[in-house]
Amino acid sequence: GELGKLVEFLETGQILDINTSNANGLNALHLAAKDGHIEIVRELLNRGAKVDNATKKGNTALHISSLAGKLDVIQLLVQHGASVNVQSQNGFTPLYMAAQENHDECVKYLLAKGANPALATEDGFTPLAVAMQQGHDKVVAVLLESDAKGKVRLPALHIAAKKDDVKAAALLLENDHNPDISSKSGFTPLHISAHYGNVDVANLLIEKGADVNFTAKHNITPLHVACKWGKTNMVNLLIPKGAKIDAVTRDGLTPLHCAARSGHEEVVDILLKENAPILSKTKNGLTALHMAAQGEHVEAARILLQHKSPVDEVTVDY
C-alpha cells in the first residue's frame, strides 16, 4: 500500500519536489533504502530522485542501504549510477558500513563493483580493520580473498603490511600474531613493507619485535629489498634499528649492490655514508660500481667513484 500512496501523492502533486528532505537531510529515497522497500526505491529513481543526494552527515542512499544490509537495494542503486566510493563526513564508505555490520554478501557485491577497500575513515580504520575489530570473520575472509585476486594467498599480516594498514596490523599482532610470520617464499611482513616503503607498518612491526635481519629465501633481508626498490625512507628506518649493512644474499649481493644495480643514487649515498662495504664483491666478482656501470646508472656510478671505489677492479667474468 505504501507504493500506491507514494504514487498517488506524486501524481496529485502533494509532493512537489521528490528530493525534498527533512532537517537532517533525510529524503524519501534514504528512508526507503533504509527499510529495504525496493519497489519504492525503484519508483523514486524512475521519477527522478537523485541517487547520490546525501544527508547532513554525508550519507547517501547507498551508505544507508549498506549499513542496513539491503543487498537488492544496493544493487538497484549501483545500477542507477550510485557512487560506490563516496565518503561521508567522517570518511565512511558504503563498503566500510557493510563491513562494520557484517553484511558479507553486500561486501562481496560492492567489491565486485569497484569499491576501494583501502579508503579509511578519519581515524584510520579501513573496512578490513573494522571487520577485524568487530570479529566479523566472514567479512574479513571476503576482504582478504579479494586482495588475493587468484594469486597465492598471503597471510593477513602481510596484506596489512602491503596496504600500510596500521590499524589492521595492530589488531592482528594483538591476537598473538608472530611479527615474523613467513609467506611461502619465506618473506616476513617487514620484507613486504620494505618493498612498498610502508614505514608506518614497519615501525609497528619492529616495535612488536620483528627481526630486522630476518633472511627470506636466498638470504634476502628487508634492507636488501628496500635498497632494490629505492625506498629511502625505509632504508633510513632500518639502519638505525640494527639492519646489517653488510648482509649478503646467496649470490653475494650486499644492500649496496642492490641499490647500485637499480640505480637508486639516493640510497647508494645513504649506504656509503653509513660505511657500506664499497669493495664487497658478488659470487661473480662484481662490485657495486660494476653493477651501476652495467645498468648505465651514471649518477650512482659517480657517487661510488666519489667515495673512492677503485675503477680497475678485475671481475671473474673476464
The more confidently predicted of residues 143 and 88 is: 88
Average pLDDT over residues 136-142: 88
The more confidently predicted of residues 312 and 318 is: 312
Quick one: which of 148, 78, 140, 154 has its CA closest to 107?
A: 140
110-119, 168-177, 204-213, 284-293: least confidently modelled range: 168-177
Euclidean distance between CA atoms 279 and 162, whole angstroms: 34
What the block records as the C-alpha cell of 230 is 629505492
Q: What is the pLDDT of residues 200-243, one digit of tens each?
A: 999 999 999 999 999 998 999 999 999 999 999 999 999 999 99
DSSP three-state, residue 27 = strand
Q: What is the pLDDT of residues 59-107, one digit of tens each?
A: 999 999 999 999 999 999 999 999 999 999 999 999 999 999 999 999 9
CA–CA–CA angle 193, 224, 176 (5° rounding): 40
Residue 46 CB: number of other CB atoms within 10 A?
9
Residue 150 confidence class, pLDDT cut points 50, 70, 90: very low
Residue 285 confidence class, pLDDT cut points 50, 70, 90: very high
pTM for this prediction: 0.69
Q: For position 56, what pLDDT does the model report?
A: 95
Q: Supply the DSSP string of 168-209, one letter for each residue.
A: HHHHHHHTT--TT---TTS--HHHHHHHHT-HHHHHHHHHTT
Q: For position 90, what pLDDT does the model report?
A: 94
What the block records as the C-alpha cell of 190 is 617487514
Euclidean distance between CA atoms 191 and 208, whole angstroms: 15
Query: Which residues are paired to 27 by β-bridges?
Result: 21
Q: For position 174, what pLDDT does the model report?
A: 84
| 48 has a pLDDT exceeding 60 | yes
Domains plus CATH for the chain?
A: 154-216+231-236 (1.25.40.20), 245-317 (1.25.40.20)
| 6 has a pLDDT exceeding 70 | no
CB 178 within 8 A of CB 166: no
Query: Which residues are paired to 21 by β-bridges?
Result: 27
Residue 288 confidence class, pLDDT cut points 50, 70, 90: very high
